[in-house]
Amino acid sequence: MATLELRNVHKSYGQGLADTLRQIELSIESGEFLILVGPSGCGKSTLMNCIAGLETISGGSILVDGVDISQQSPKERDIAMVFQSYALYPTMSVRENIAFGLKIRKLPVETINAEVERVAKLLQIEHLLTRKPAQLSGGQQQRVAMGRALARRPKIYLFDEPLSNLDAKLRVEMRTEIKLMHQRLKTTTVYVTHDQIEAMTLGDKVAVMKDGIIQQFGTPQQIYNDPANHFVASFIGSPPMNFIPLAVQQRGAQAWGVVESVQGRCELPLGQWQAGLQEHGVLLGVRPEQIRTGDDSSLPGLPAAVAVTEPTGPDTLAFVSLNNTHVCCRLAPERVPAAGEILNLQFDPSRLLLFNAATGERLFMAETRAQVDESASITLAAQVNG
Ligand SMILES: Nc1ncnc2c1ncn2[C@@H]1O[C@H](COP(=O)(O)OP(=O)(O)OP(=O)(O)O)[C@@H](O)[C@H]1O
Ligand SMILES: [Mg+2]
């Protein structure tokens, strides 16, 4: 177990090229599991390669247990990495591939054999131990590559999308296995994934990256419920958060956001009026499961016709048009409204997120006096058209 700290890490692949990593600041406690997510090309693999020592950094420092390792060779660092593109030794059998790192460390044969058997069982590749990599499918090769890392007990594990070549069922099984393994071994881990569920369920912390910059670093719950900006809010969550462009109106000291369907309109209290609201525009962020469709009498409703329904199994997704934007609502699985059916949409004002439509920044609006004084009468004003 070890702590891992990245201080102001920069990486450029050459003069004249834009920085691939910029001002990376991360701090991972001993035994923690960090998930690194971000769109293709944002620098995830580059960051992993820098931590492993396969790439040099252009600035900053990388510390393991408080010691700067940025000048050390990959071997000295005692970090095991599973690559995005698995690199197995083609002339060695699966057993030899997994045992390789242990042999180099000159461990006793019995220990090596026991370790190979253990990881082969964990990864369900016991029947493949005598084969060569060329005789394996992509997913099987990926599991062998993983086995090679797991057979070691390094200070830190780095996983770069290790499950991306596996079929859906095996992926779910492996996800659970990785979590169980981490609970048992408590090895400090950095894990890159594109998978929303892996991102939310596997890690203690999540770092969301874009264009070589960490956009937000926090617990999965913080990232999901309290996103730092529009990018993080849109990247995390499946189906994604809805973003409804609001028509913003000023009434006294109070700002209101108008949401309209063909069937009606409602006004949401946004808080104290701020200069610039109308110029940059405001996006209302609301997750599909946060739009209620019941008849909570404390919240007025907005009637809206269902355009399309998608029963996914565990829930039903219903799409409506609000402010000319497709908006997804998550309903209970047994509820499958027909196209054209009117839903009574209800927003919880305390759960609404607001974003600057021009810059993507989160907007934090101060409460107005009026809201406090007359909260009962103006919490949410709705009216039905025609
Ligand atoms: N050896 C290299 N020389 C120059 N540029 C590189 C090199 N390796 C990567 N890059 C560039 O650095 C950026 C980040 O690449 P990286 O592989 O780290 O992205 P990633 O986040 O892992 O993407 P993906 O999700 O597709 O794996 C990309 O623009 C890529 O083209
Ligand atoms: Mg990558």
**Tens digit of pLDDT per residue, the chain (386 long)?**
899 999 999 999 988 888 999 999 999 999 999 999 999 999 999 999 999 999 999 999 999 999 999 999 998 999 999 887 777 999 999 999 999 989 988 899 999 999 999 999 988 899 999 999 999 988 888 889 889 988 888 999 999 998 887 888 888 888 888 888 899 889 999 999 988 889 999 999 999 999 999 999 999 999 999 999 999 999 999 999 999 999 999 999 999 999 999 999 999 988 899 888 888 999 999 999 999 997 777 876 899 999 999 999 999 999 999 999 999 999 999 999 999 999 999 988 788 899 999 999 999 988 765 444 444 333 344 555 54
Which of ligand 1's atoms lies nearest the C-alpha of 212? 14
| CA 49 – ligand 2 centroid, Å | 10
Q: Enter the tokens of residue 122.
A: 């964990």
Measured from the alpha carbon of residue 13, the closest ligand is 1
Residues lining ligand 1, Cβ inside 6 A: 13, 20, 38, 40-46, 84
**Cα–ligand 2 centroid distance for 39 (angstroms):** 9
191 forms beta bridges with 35, 159
Is 2 strand, coil or helix? coil
Report residue 78 as tokens. 């005692």
**H-run or E-run covering 196:** helix 196-201
| Cis, bond preceding 239 (omega within 30 deg of 0) | yes
Q: Which atom of ligand 1 is nearest to the CA of 46?
A: 18
Q: Which atom of ligand 1 is nearest to the CA of 84?
A: 27
Residues 6+ apart with CB under 8 A from 302: 259, 261, 264, 265, 266, 322, 344, 345, 346, 347, 382
Q: Fill in the amino acid letter for 329.
A: C
Please state, in angstroms and rounded to a whole number, the distance separating the CA atoms of residues 321 and 19. Answer: 41
Return all residues near 385 (Cβ < 8 A) that are at least 6 apart.
262, 263, 264, 265
Residue whose CA is closest, atom 14 of ligand 1? Answer: 43
Span from the CA of 160 to the centroid of ligand 2 (angstroms): 7
Note the pTM of the prediction, 2 decimals: 0.89
Coil/strand/helix, residue 273: coil
How far, in Å, from the CA of 40 to the mean position of ligand 2? 7
At 382, list the tokens: 């709705």
Q: What are phi and psi of 383, to 5 degrees?
A: -145, 150
Spatial distance between the Cα atoms of 277 and 259, rounded to a whole number of angstroms: 16
Provide, for the chain, the percentages of residues in helix, strand and coil under a 3-state DSSP scheme, each rounded to the nearest 5. Answer: 30, 35, 35
Whole-number Å distance between alpha carbons of 151 and 147: 6
CA distance 151 to 121: 12
pLDDT digit string, tens, across residues 247-287:
999 999 999 999 999 999 999 988 899 888 888 999 999 99
Atom of ligand 1 nearest to the CA of 161: 27
Q: Which string of b and e fits 320-330 if b means at least 16 CB within 10 Å? A: bebbeeebbbb
**Distance from C-alpha of 194 to C-alpha of 35, rounded to nearest angstrom:** 10
Contact 24, 47 (CB under 8 A): yes
Distances (CA, A) of 69 to 4, 76, 185: 10, 9, 23
Ligand 1 atom at minimum distance from 39 CA: 25
Tell how far the Cα of 87 is from the centroid of ligand 2, in angstroms.
14
State the ligand closest to the CA atom of 36: 1
| Encoded amino acid at 93, one letter | S
304 forms beta bridges with: 343
> How far apart (Å, rounded) are the C-alpha atoms in residues 97 and 147?
9
Choose one of 44, 49, 57 to mutate for the ligand 1 pocket test, by most ligand atoms within 8 angstroms of C-beta: 44
Q: Which atom of ligand 1 is nearest to the CA of 47?
A: 18
CA–CA distance, 355 with 105 (Å, rounded to integer): 54
Look at ligand 1, atom 8, and give the residue with the nearest C-alpha.
Answer: 46
Residue nearest to atom 2 of ligand 1 (CA): 13
Q: Ligand 2 mean position to 45 CA, how many Å? A: 4
Q: Which protein residue's CA is at the shortest distance from atom 29 of ligand 1?
A: 41
